[in-house]
Amino acid sequence: MPLILRVNKVPQTLVDQLALSNSVIELVDLQPPDEQTIDIVLASGESIVDDELISRLPNLKLIAVFGVGYDGVDIHAARQRGIFVTNTPDILTADVADLAIALMLNVARRINAAQQYIERGGWHEGSFPPAFKVSGARLGIVGFGRIGRAVAQRAQGFAMKINYYARSDHQSQDATYYPSLVSLAENSDVLIICASGGKESRHLINREVLAALGAEGIVINVARGSVIDEAALVEAIDTESIGGAGLDVFADEPNVPQALLNRDNVVVTPHIGSATHATRAAMAKLVLDNISAYQSGSPLLTPIY
């Protein structure tokens, strides 16, 4: 049977399907004899498939990523060795954009805080304080790829003024381009992060950007935890330099800073952007189809290059 190496964070259901016609081993169980025969690595976007691991696998030909992001994969090392990399684009766009809007509404309208207010008996003592109005507010989107544009489309339903920051001006008729993150933040009530992860975007959202967002501003992150300077975010929350945050991703998952927990103005979720039954099943099918295509010598469905 062909031997596939699974690097962490890939659903067991996908592994079970692959195991019907392949042998799948875990990275922790990888032994030198196996290193010589593995030609497929199965990974998630956050999995570390670096030059060191790639160098250990002389027959590696395909890195199949379960996810749209692939910042954990050393693309340069793969390309140098003629190794194909595939991912699962488009499929999860709608779910991630939906969650971004849900987090925005939750933080702005303080839904979690309102529930906790009832649960601790606060309603008997008086009314819950007014919250932030979303409709008509200014939305800044960081990263205007598939997910960023899907967020913008949804935000139009709330009559939001949509601005964005990206590597280049997309000439959108429905959104205004800002070449500076600081100026985008200064002109936003809500900042939603949709940028790709990786070295280039590390700590893109720093103290200066958060300060520009202001004391009433809300930051939402459905991208990668590394895109925000987490220490700066904690400081901004602690000092009330921003109004709140909705976070689905973190710098050191599954570890979430204690300072971000149990706060009325912070909503946290455990990296569930694509976690619906339908989307995860479709993502798994695309991974399987890419692997089948490689093994049969057919063109890959979604090669990164």
Average pLDDT over residues 225-253: 97
Query: Given this model, what pLDDT does residue 46 score?
Result: 82
pLDDT in tens, 241-290: 999 999 999 999 999 999 999 999 999 999 999 999 999 999 999 999 99
**C-alpha dist (Å) from residue 189 to 39, 108, 134:** 48, 10, 9
C-alpha 140: how far from its chain's center? 17
200 catalytic? Reply is no
CA 170 → CA 13, 146, 175, 230, distances in Å?
A: 38, 12, 9, 29
Q: Which of 6, 110, 224, 280 is catalytic?
A: 224
Residue 185 has pLDDT above 90, yes or no: yes
Query: What six digits make up the tokens of 104?
Result: 């925005």
- Residue reference for tokens 């599954």: 254
Q: Render pLDDT for 1-38 as a digit per residue (tens, 0 to 9).
A: 899 999 977 889 999 999 999 999 999 999 999 999 99
Q: ω into residue 89 within 30 of 0, thus cis? A: no
Residue 285: count of CB within 10 angstroms of its CB: 14
State residue 127 phi and psi, 5-degree precision. Answer: -75, 150
| Annotated active-site residue in 253, 263, 277, 280 | 253
Give me 72's structure tokens.
């954990």
pLDDT in tens, 111-170: 999 999 999 999 999 999 999 999 999 999 999 999 999 999 999 999 999 999 999 999
Half-sphere exposure of 74 (CA within 13 A, CB side): 14
* Strands across the sheet containing 40-44: 23-26, 3-6, 40-44, 62-66, 84-86
Question: Is 6 one of the annotated active-site residues of the chain?
Answer: no
Residue 219: strand, helix, or coil: strand
CA atoms within 13 A on the CB side of 275: 11
Query: Which structure tokens are listed for 270?
Result: 């455990």
Average pLDDT of the residues in 56-81: 95
Give the whole-angstrom CA distance, residue 169 versus residue 148: 13
Which domains, ranges and CATH numbers included, belong to the chain? 3-91+277-296 (3.40.50.720), 93-268 (3.40.50.720)
Mean pLDDT of 188-214: 96
Q: How far apart are the first and last CA of the chain?
A: 28
- The pLDDT mean for the chain works out to 96
Annotated active-site residue 52? The verdict is no
> What distances in angstroms separate CA 238 from CA 92, 110, 209, 255, 263, one per listed residue?
33, 17, 16, 19, 10
- DSSP E strands in 47-204: the ranges are 62-66, 84-86, 138-142, 161-165, 176-177, 190-193
Q: The pTM is what?
A: 0.94
CB 63 within 8 A of CB 84: yes
Instruction: Write down the pLDDT at residue 45.
Output: 81
* DSSP secondary structure of 190-207: EEEE----SGGGTT-B-H
d(CA 5, CA 36): 12
Q: For Cα atoms 176, 181, 226, give the angle at the middle one, nearest 5 degrees.
A: 125
